[in-house]
Amino acid sequence: MILKNKSLQAVQSAQAYAGQKQELDVAFFLRRAFKDHPQVLVINDFKFSFNDETAQIDHLIIYTYGFVLIESKSIKGQVKVNQQEEWTRSHQGTWFGMASPIKQVELQQALLLQLLTHHRSEILGKLLGIKQQGFRLRGWDHLCAVSSDAIINRDTMPKQVSEKLVKTEFLVDKLNEIMNLKGKFTRLVNFTDTRPDFSQDELNSIGDFLINQDINSERTQEQSESRESTEEPTKIKDAEAIFLETQSLQQAAQPQPIMQLQEAHPSYLTPQNHAVPQLKLTCKHCGESANYQPMYGKYGYYIHCNQCTKNTPMKQDCPQCQSKLTRVQKRQETYTLHCQDCCFSQQVI
């Protein structure tokens, strides 16, 4: 299941365009393979913050037994890695050093594990109602997906690096090998596979939690359906085609006239004559407005009332435009309501 698609961004250089094209190609193959798979969740372009650090993961796979992080790299020439795991790449006959994408994704993985571990009691239940489940003993893998036309010198490459470096068209095969997914019945009768697994409810809870943590999430069902119907893998384009597409993206990035922006979003560019009411969370059962705890469950953020012990969702209709397309995001100890229709946002806790 695709929780978030890779969206097209305006870029300013041919290099940035090539990088974005590589991410779109990877996202296409992931969507083609897993969009209807209930045991696999995919989040593209996932950016999150935790403990005053920020990480951006090109593609995140959440599956029954764990997680796979994928770093996309556009490499048109040759790539070599020596025994010290130092990377070099060629461009127009000249060799350049480059940062290791494997080390980069390892840092992202470590921060993601810290985030999930910190919130494990909000996301996962207790085993047999006694022991709190966690994330450290789950499957954790990471890969680097490079352009299909890259030339990889594997003869002198360390084995541990070669195993994590894969061309885009072979990525799904590699993922299937790592995940080694089985049907529900097979999992019940196969006693040799001792990997701890997530239930479907737990899988959905993890996906909902991470989507709420995504800093730049613009996910709506309409956007997902539109992108799925229009995105196709692109063939290697000639120089003129790349120039024309890059030029169109640059034009899209230019500032738009105020009149056009106002026509597109009149609700927040036109001065409002009425004051927007201040959001205030109260228990919908007893009306308590202070004695509660913020928590997270499989349906999102909510408050647990200490007075009547019942729960109330934090999600509300937008107080400015009354839209129901709102979501709550948490940044450290602050909870904020965001409206996807009028871009209104206000702190609720």
Question: Could you read off the pLDDT of 254-308 as tens digits, one per residue?
Answer: 443 434 434 444 433 334 445 666 788 899 899 888 899 888 876 678 898 998 9
Mean of pLDDT values over 233-262: 42
195 vs 279, higher pLDDT: 195
Which whole number is the average pLDDT over 177-189? 76
What is the amino acid identity at position 348? V
The length of the chain in residues reads 349
Residue 216's pLDDT is: 73
Q: Which of 242-251, 282-291, 316-325 has the lowest mean pLDDT?
A: 242-251
Q: Is the pLDDT of residue 247 over 80?
A: no
Q: Output the pLDDT for position 112.
A: 97
pLDDT over 80 at 41, yes or no: yes
Tell me the sheet residues that pair with 6.
none
pLDDT higher than 50, residue 34: yes
The three-point CA angle 332-40-175 to 5° equals 105
Residue 84 in this model has a pLDDT that exceeds 90: yes
Cα atoms found within 13 Å of the Cα of residue 49, Cβ hemisphere only: 10
Q: Which residues of 204-224 are buried (b: 16+ CB within 10 A; e: fewer)?
A: bbbbbbbbbbbeebebeeeeb
Answer yes or no: is pLDDT of 59 > 60: yes
The answer to whether 286 and 305 have CB atoms below 8 angstroms apart is: yes
> Poorest-confidence range of 59-73, 106-120, 252-266, 302-316?
252-266
When pLDDT is averaged across residues 226-233 and rounded to a whole number, the result is: 43
| Distance (Å) of CA 347 to CA 40, 150, 163, 297 | 33, 47, 45, 20
Q: Give the pTM.
A: 0.62
**186 or 148, higher pLDDT:** 148
144 or 195, which is more confident: 144
What pLDDT is attached to residue 336? 87
Q: Residue 170's pLDDT band (boundaries 50, 70, 90)?
A: very high
Which of 325, 326, 280, 321 lies closest to 303 in space, CA to CA? 280
Question: What per-residue confidence (pLDDT) applies to 115?
Answer: 96
Least confident of 40-49, 77-86, 176-185, 238-247: 238-247
Of 83-97, 104-118, 125-139, the least confident? 125-139
Please list, residue by residue across 96-132, b when 16 or more beta carbons sit within 10 angstroms of its beta carbon and e when fewer do.
eeeeebbebbeebbebbbebbeebeebbbeeeeeeee
Q: Which of 19, 26, 16 is nearest to 5 (CA)?
A: 26
**In the structure, what pLDDT confidence band is assigned to residue 214 with cuts at 50, 70 and 90?**
very high
Confidence at residue 172, expressed as pLDDT on a 0 to 100 scale: 96
| Euclidean distance between CA atoms 111 and 142, whole angstroms | 13
The conformation of residue 103, written as its DSSP 8-state character, comes to: H
Q: Looking at residue 62, what is its pLDDT?
A: 97
Structural contact between residues 74 and 17, judged by C-beta atoms closer than 8 angstroms: no
Q: What percent of the chain has pLDDT over 70?
A: 78
Pairwise CA distance, residues 241 & 253, whole Å: 19
DSSP state of 249: H
Check residue 317 and give its pLDDT: 86
Would you say residue 224 has pLDDT above 80?
A: no
Question: Kindly report the CA angle at 173 between 124 and 17, in degrees rounded to 5?
Answer: 90
Q: Reply yes or no on whether the pLDDT at 232 is more than 80.
A: no
224 vs 56: CA distance, rounded Å: 20
pLDDT at residue 197 above 80?
yes
